[in-house]
Amino acid sequence: MKNPKPAYLCAPLTDLPEDTRDQMKAFYERLADACTSIMGSEAYVPHLHTDPVKHANIVPAAVYELDRAIVCEKSSVLVAVYVGPSWGCGIEIALVAPRPTRPFFCRYALGLWLGRLIFGPEVPVILLVPEGKKASRMLLGCPAIRRIIRYKDENDALLQLARALNDLGLTRRDLR
């Protein structure tokens, strides 16, 4: 049976070093393939849709709206690959973090101020951090993060990701 909502793979894309760009994207795609295989629904990989180099013609507002909608409304888990300081996944993690239940004001593009209750979309985060790298306490303290995977190499990351997806109950029923 298919999981109705896929994984969203979050990883750095902007200003990737040219000498490692293809290797990093291949790793992201291997992680996404593992999620697809384990969960039974095709993982969303942003660089396949809104790559900053290949799809440079897509305006930033469109990238934000597309990725925000997918991570908040159409994903069952956010798999975030930590690379280093200012690594490019903070906004996705913030979008799925639980929010206060008190009303607050949001500014919309039309310039209107509207009071609105905002709740987190209940998308758990699995954070992958290479051994030897230090993620910030602010990131590690985010309540949306359900698993922190410290991995040695790509194969170790894939193995631990499979375990984490299973622990969170996100595997296809036939794999449970």
Residues 60, 97, 83, CA angle at the centre, nearest 5°? 65
Q: Are 10 and 32 in contact (CB under 8 A)?
A: no
Q: Are 162 and 175 in contact (CB under 8 A)?
A: no
Say what the pLDDT of residue 151 is. 96
Say what the pLDDT of residue 99 is. 62
CA distance 102 to 119: 9
What is the model's pTM? 0.77
Say what the pLDDT of residue 60 is. 86
Q: Are 48 and 25 in contact (CB under 8 A)?
A: no
Mean pLDDT by 10 residues, the chain (176 residues): 77 86 94 94 94 90 89 91 73 74 42 38 87 83 88 96 93 65
How would CATH label the architecture of 7-175? Answer: 3-Layer(aba) Sandwich (3.40)
Say what the pLDDT of residue 61 is. 87
- Spell out the domain ranges in the chain: 7-175
